[in-house]
A and B are shown apart, each in its own frame.
Chain A
Amino acid sequence: MIFLSAWAFGLLSLAGIIALLYFLRRREERVVVSAIWLWEEELERPRSALTFLWTKIWLLLVQVAALAALVFSLAHPTLTQEFLGGGTLALILDGSASMQTLEGERTRYDLARARAIELIEKRRPARLTIIQAQQNPKLLVPLTEDKAQALAVLRASQPTLQSDASPLDVLELVRSQGELDQFTEVIYIGDHALELPITQVIVSEPKKNLAITGLAARPLPDGSFRVVVWARVENFSSEALEGTLYLFAEEVEILQERLYLGPGERRMIEAIAPGYTRFRAMVDVADDFVFDNIRYSVVPRRPKLKVRWLGERNFFLLRALNTFAEPSLHTDETERYDLIIAINSAIRPLGAALLVNSVAEPWVMRPGTIGELGSLQILTPTHPIVQNVQAEHLRSATIPVTQLASGVQTLIASGDQPIVAVYRSEGLSFVYLGVDLKNSPLVLTPSFPILVRNSIYWLLPDLGLSSERFVSDEFATPGFTDQIAINLDPTESEINRAHSHKLVAQPSLTKEIPSQMHIPLWYLGVWVAFGLLFVELLWYYRSLWRRGWWSDDTV
């Protein structure tokens, strides 16, 4: 049983006033009787101290009991599911990586698991289901009546290295076990709040954590085959932390730096290494969450690329291409090729093509010669080709007047003239770049190699150029012996989120989530209070009903 308005118990202090008034009012009255010798037996009657006390204060006790009953009602007493037992319980256990944070000698997951077992044993549900919530939520125990089996599975469960679960994914998994209104209670146990309006138990205390939240390696676009490596280190604690960062290329240490980060401080560290492809960052620090003290990065191997080159050669374009691939250039039409690059020419495209200031009828036509450059505008900022490209870098003195067929999508335009456009259909895809590289400073800007790289990635998606590495991806690599990458989602490093996060219930879900079963008991207190007051009223006016047989009309 819980009390929703426990403040009401403060009103019990009124009992002191009641007692004061009671004893002030209760004075020994003088009653003149006709025959005191009929009372004299009372003098000889033995009376225990307890009886004597009782006769003095029983009405006071009735009044105080009535007050206590009223206070009980005002405190909104409520029977909870814990008291009642039975019902259907859905237990959601946070299984994300941050649950491996140490809380003393035990991890948060150990604490959450112990709390879950305690809840099951206290609430005694008739049926229960247990869900482990992480990026890929897992149904640990399907809806069952076998509590012992459920507890056994729960005890054997372990946290994952995945990131946090999506509330909607978790909700869907709960729904897979039954309609939400069938559940008497849905309880989540984790180290941060889940944005669902359900009972949430947070098992975390503020802890120390210095984390590597990012490690990136990128070949320098200067054709030197060197790689620049960036590491991002963050302090997620409320106190300053000190540690040493190590950067390794393959097994060679390329950097060692002592770090001192204040609360919430972030630091970027950069190093340049010669032609390695696999990198590791490690921070040596004494903190409570170790899984983000190491991070891995892989620079993809440059794929071999057969390129049919049409038109004049361009040094900058070739260098940019070399940064991401090993191109072999061909001019023979009979050779099989992966990509056509056309510069200032007219072609009949087939397959994948990069058209630089070129014509490819009927998709790209040139009705005029030279046009004025207007203001540059990125029309589709989310397209992968224009990611990290600055439109201003595409500025040039003149632009060719171009007309595009319908179906060709313009990504960057100057007025009504396309500067960057793309087209993809079955058997044909091309990227059109409406800039004359000889008359434009574009090739000297950072956006150029990025634009080239993005274009090749978009035109040839099957080349395996991605350098993304996910949690638990295996490295089948020389250098790291059978190493499993455990690059965590950076949000998992924020192990103190429970203390800064504000739970916001989603209104659309509020109606769907069953509330905890509560049985209010306030009316019992009211009945008891009025019953006691009625007894006292009867006692107070007892002379009226006792005198009945001795009234004026009867003898």
Chain B
Amino acid sequence: MSISSLRKRDESFWKRISSLQLLVRHRAEGQAGPWMTRRAGMSLEFAEYREYHPGDDFRYVDWNLYGRLDRLFVKVFHREENIPVYMLLDTSRSMAVGGKLSYAGELAGALSYIALKDMNRVGVFTFARTLVHGVPPRGGLSHLHKILNFLEELRPADQTSLRVACEEFSKLPLRRGLVVLLSDMFDPEGYEHGLLQLLIKRHEIALVQILAPEDVNPPIEYEARLVDSEGLAEFSVSAYAVARYRRRLLQYEQELEVFCRAHQIRYKQLSAARPLERALLEDLRGVLVV
């Protein structure tokens, strides 16, 4: 896969997407970042007083108040915290169809930049049959270089197993954060189990389903020998089967959307032919970025 085109984009592209921020709905634990959390700690904005409990940092005890009330209170400030962003990229062989993996890589790179510029930590994981630890979560724009290097080296391989990948991901000692799942979601074993595993770990999930034009309009003129990209099977069909396939695909997409809505998973479908800039500035606005 090559996401070199991302590196070649001009400055105006980066300037335009730098105005975007990742949309996070839940307050999360983390280090200082753009998101406010009511937690004792260093900040500029005072929130309230709280009675001292053993273990509280003596540095936050308000000694003036102690002088007047003879009781120990600590100052509580609004603290700006960052949230870890986990890019979970599908690298199964089905992602090779129609350049979906390349597109997903570019999207992941761009989203990583948006997250990193706001002092968030970004980690990149890939999966096919199993989970692959790509780039561990780190902050700072210098981390972007590692992420892009990693994404450039991605190659499609193996079959999809969202269930296994998500189980492995949920077992990792990671703070809860925003999981951006980039996949075509073509998993014959289903997607429900895997997504539920992530929800159990209280991750916030943003699912971007990437489909290639070939997935929607298979190029079958008369009859064709269908070969599964992941080597599952192959057989012949006529052009008349395309319409029935499209009906089934639509039904599958609708079921996925209903599932996501029911579990508060943000869902967006993108075409791999959609220009990246328009996808970020228009399609994902309100879903993944603001």
Contacts and interface: CB of A to CB of B under 8 A. Distances in A.
B279 to A, nearest CB: 8
Contact of B229 (A34, A40, A543): A34
A33 B228 contact: yes
A50 interface: no
Interface string B203-243: 00000000011111111111111111100111111111100
Interface string A111-129: 0000000000000000000
B154 interface: no
Given A550-B217, A552-B274, A35 B94 contact: yes
A156 interface: no
B245 interface: yes
A315 interface: no
Interface residues of B, number: 48
Contact of B226 (A36, A546, A547, A551): A36
Q: Which of A33, A43, A543, A546 has most chain B Cβ within 10 Å?
A: A33
A29 B222 CA distance: 9
Contact of A36 (B184, B214, B234, B239): B234
Contacts of A31: 218-220, 224-227
A378 B248 CA distance: 112
A30 interface: yes
B67 interface: no
Contacts of B222: 26, 55-56, 59
A555 B270 contact: yes
A550 B213 CA distance: 7
A543 to B, nearest CB: 6
Contact of B238 (A38, A55, A540, A550): A55
Contact of A552 (B186, B232, B273): B273
B97 interface: yes
Interface string B90-129: 0000110110100000000000000000000000000000
A39 B226 contact: yes
Interface string A17-51: 00000000010111111111111111101000000
B18 interface: no
Nearest to B269: A555
Contact of A34 (B186, B269, B283): B186
Nearest to B228: A36
Contacts of B95: 34
B249 interface: yes
Contacts of B228: 32-33, 35-37
B46 interface: no
A30 B227 contact: yes
A540 B214 CA distance: 17
A41 B97 contact: no
Contacts of A30: 224-225, 227
A28 B225 contact: yes
Nearest to A40: B233
B249 A38 contact: yes
A34 B226 contact: no
A29 B219 CA distance: 9
Interface string B242-256: 001100110010000
Contacts of A552: 271, 273-275
B188 interface: yes
B248 A38 contact: yes
Contact of A555 (B220, B221, B232, B271): B271
Interface residues of A, number: 30
Contacts of A555: 269-271, 274, 283
Contact of B224 (A29, A41, A52, A59): A29
A29 B238 CA distance: 11
Interface string A42-72: 1101000000100110010000000000000
A552 B277 CA distance: 12
Contacts of A540: 221
A43 B226 CA distance: 11
A112 to B, nearest CB: 60
A547 B213 contact: yes
A28 B212 contact: no
Contacts of B225: 28-31
Contacts of B221: 29, 540
A415 B85 CA distance: 142
Contacts of A38: 186, 245, 248-249, 252
A33 B97 contact: yes
Of B184, B215, B222, B233, which is in contact with the most chain A CB atoms at under 10 Å from its CB? Answer: B222
B188 A37 contact: yes
Given A41-B244, A552-B273, A56 B252 contact: no
A34 B212 contact: yes
A479 B248 CA distance: 112
Contacts of B229: 32-34
Given A38-B252, A39-B241, A32 B227 contact: yes
A36 B245 contact: no
B218 A33 contact: yes
A127 B14 CA distance: 91
B245 A39 contact: yes
Contacts of B234: 36
B143 to A, nearest CB: 31
Interface string A540-554: 100100110011100
A407 B214 CA distance: 113
Interface in A503-555: 540, 543, 546-547, 550-552, 555
A11 B107 CA distance: 59
Nearest to B211: A34
A42 to B, nearest CB: 5
Contacts of A547: 213, 217
B224 A42 contact: no
Interface string B130-172: 0000000000000000000000000000000000000000000
B240 A55 contact: yes
Contacts of B223: 28-29, 55-56
A61 B95 CA distance: 39
A42 B223 CA distance: 13
A34 B94 contact: yes
A546 B239 CA distance: 13
Given A30-B227, A546-B217, A37 B245 contact: no
A42 B217 CA distance: 16
A543 B217 contact: yes
A34 B237 contact: no
Contacts of B100: 34
A486 to B, nearest CB: 80
Interface of A: 26, 28-43, 45, 52, 55-56, 59, 540, 543, 546-547, 550-552, 555
Interface of B: 94-95, 97-98, 100, 184, 186, 188, 212-229, 232-241, 244-245, 248-249, 252, 269-271, 273-275, 283
Which 5 A-B pairs rank lowest in CB-CB distance, beginning with the nearest?
Answer: A36-B228, A35-B186, A34-B94, A31-B224, A55-B238
27 contacts: A29-B219, A31-B226, A31-B227, A32-B97, A32-B227, A32-B229, A33-B229, A34-B95, A35-B184, A35-B215, A35-B228, A36-B227, A36-B228, A36-B232, A36-B234, A37-B188, A37-B228, A38-B245, A42-B241, A55-B238, A56-B223, A56-B238, A540-B221, A551-B273, A552-B273, A552-B274, A555-B283
